[in-house]
């Protein structure tokens, strides 16, 4: 069996390729990516597949038995991009498409759902055998910057007391691998979510217990939350999408208790505490927290060497290889490895002049915002994010 994975250099895609290697070692996995050079470390063959280049798609899917279509993170006509892959796959005689959609599908009230509903309709109309994985929210959407929340002393959001059935990105990648390797005939739809639902207050309590500090949760209206996210530098369309999801979560939009995900992957989904490292000291009130405060709130472990201008993450500024704390050389740890991707990554991020990929993943200088650098939903939110095309602006990778 020959399986092609779109978006294979993305966060979910990389995990899916690795999971296929474990789940289906006999399968030939092919990475379908816009830039094959970026796939060199995946250990599988790579083919160029640009959603906006039909000829590249036709070549990319030729000879494949299965195409795992990971939803695009480009706001500009997301459903059209998906239809292009579906059309190329149908013309090439691909046997099955596995698509990562959104929890509850057409019943989802989220603004991110529209393009997924359109893509599901295109799959049904194509006549291709298909498996639709309606993925719930990633736990990483909420845990990616808990160190910053600890420093700030609290979490904010708009989910109220809504129960969130999240799962780790690795759990969804395993499900994608299982579905792609399944040769059973017929069309299938799986509603996928974590085993144990939790609330924002639950998360705050867990963080408080792990750190020994009182971490509270402040619930905002979706409008106020969107404004707060915008104030931290997120583009308006992304801020609205995050706040919209939170607002609907309070009414159950991100809750599911079917247990389908754990049944599909053959193990329990990753617990909340394990997903954010509560047991490994990664968020603590001791030396780890002090180190986090030196790095700045909610930052990743990336380093960078800015060469011109500055990149901004939280309140730390990188200039000529020096951080705002005065540290010199390459240890410019105040720069986050990418744009904010979750409700707690409340930090300023401005793509631009930092020359290391960890700081500006897509382009070193993208204020002109060419076609390949249009605003996109950060991949931590892409479980599946559709939505209208956003205005041109800073490159979000």
Q: How far is CA 191 from CA 276, 303, 314, in A?
A: 24, 38, 36
Partners of 41 in beta bridges: none
- What pLDDT was estimated at residue 94? 98
- What pLDDT was estimated at residue 151? 85
- What pLDDT was estimated at residue 149? 81
- What pLDDT was estimated at residue 329? 29
- What pLDDT was estimated at residue 285? 41
- What pLDDT was estimated at residue 283? 53
- Enter the pTM of the model: 0.73
User: For the chain, which ranges sit under pLDDT 50?
Assistant: 279-281, 284-397
194 close to 171: Cβ distance less than 8 angstroms: yes
224 close to 242: Cβ distance less than 8 angstroms: no
- What pLDDT was estimated at residue 240? 93
Element (H, E) at 134: strand 129-135
Q: Does CATH place domain 2-138+168-192 in 3.40.50.720?
A: yes
- What pLDDT was estimated at residue 40? 95
- What pLDDT was estimated at residue 277? 63
- What pLDDT was estimated at residue 390? 32
How many angstroms separate the CA atoms of 226 and 273, rounded? 27
């Amino acid at each position: 069996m020959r399986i092609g994975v779109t978006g294979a250099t993305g966060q979910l895609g990389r995990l899916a390729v690795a999971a296929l290697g474990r789940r289906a070692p006999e399968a030939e996995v092919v990475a379908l990516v816009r830039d094959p050079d970026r796939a060199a470390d995946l250990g599988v063959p790579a083919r160029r597949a640009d959603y906006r280049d039909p000829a590249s798609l036709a070549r990319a899917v030729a000879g494949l038995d299965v195409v795992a279509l990971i939803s695009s993170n480009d706001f500009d006509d997301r459903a059209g991009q998906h239809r292009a892959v579906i059309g190329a796959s149908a013309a090439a005689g691909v046997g099955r498409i596995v698509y990562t959609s959104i929890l509850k599908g057409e019943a989802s009230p989220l603004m991110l759902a529209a393009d997924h509903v359109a893509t599901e309709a295109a799959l049904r109309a194509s006549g291709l055998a298909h498996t639709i994985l309606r993925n719930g929210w990633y736990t990483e959407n909420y845990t990616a910057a808990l160190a910053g929340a600890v420093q700030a002393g609290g979490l904010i959001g708009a989910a109220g007391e809504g129960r969130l059935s999240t799962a780790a990105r690795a759990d969804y990648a395993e499900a994608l691998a299982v579905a792609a390797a399944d040769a059973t005939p017929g069309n299938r739809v799986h509603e996928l979510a974590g085993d144990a639902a939790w609330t924002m207050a639950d998360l705050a309590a867990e963080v408080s217990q792990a750190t020994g500090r009182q971490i509270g949760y402040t619930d905002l209206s979706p409008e106020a939350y969107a404004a707060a996210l915008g104030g931290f530098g997120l583009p308006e369309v992304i801020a609205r999408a995050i706040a919209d999801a939170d607002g609907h979560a309070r009414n159950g939009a991100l809750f599911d208790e079917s247990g389908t995900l754990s049944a599909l992957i053959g193990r329990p989904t990753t617990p909340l505490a394990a997903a954010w490292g509560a047991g490994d000291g990664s968020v603590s009130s001791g030396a780890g927290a002090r180190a986090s405060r030196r790095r700045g709130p909610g930052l990743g472990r990336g380093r960078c060497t800015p060469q011109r201008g500055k990149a901004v993450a939280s309140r730390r500024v990188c200039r000529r290889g020096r951080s705002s704390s005065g540290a010199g050389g390459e240890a410019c740890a105040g720069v986050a490895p990418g744009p904010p991707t979750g409700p707690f990554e409340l930090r300023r991020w401005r793509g631009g002049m930092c020359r290391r990929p960890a700081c500006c993943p897509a382009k070193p200088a993208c204020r002109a915002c060419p076609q390949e650098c249009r605003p996109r939903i950060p991949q931590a939110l892409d479980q599946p994010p559709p939505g209208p095309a956003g205005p041109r602006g800073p490159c979000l990778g």
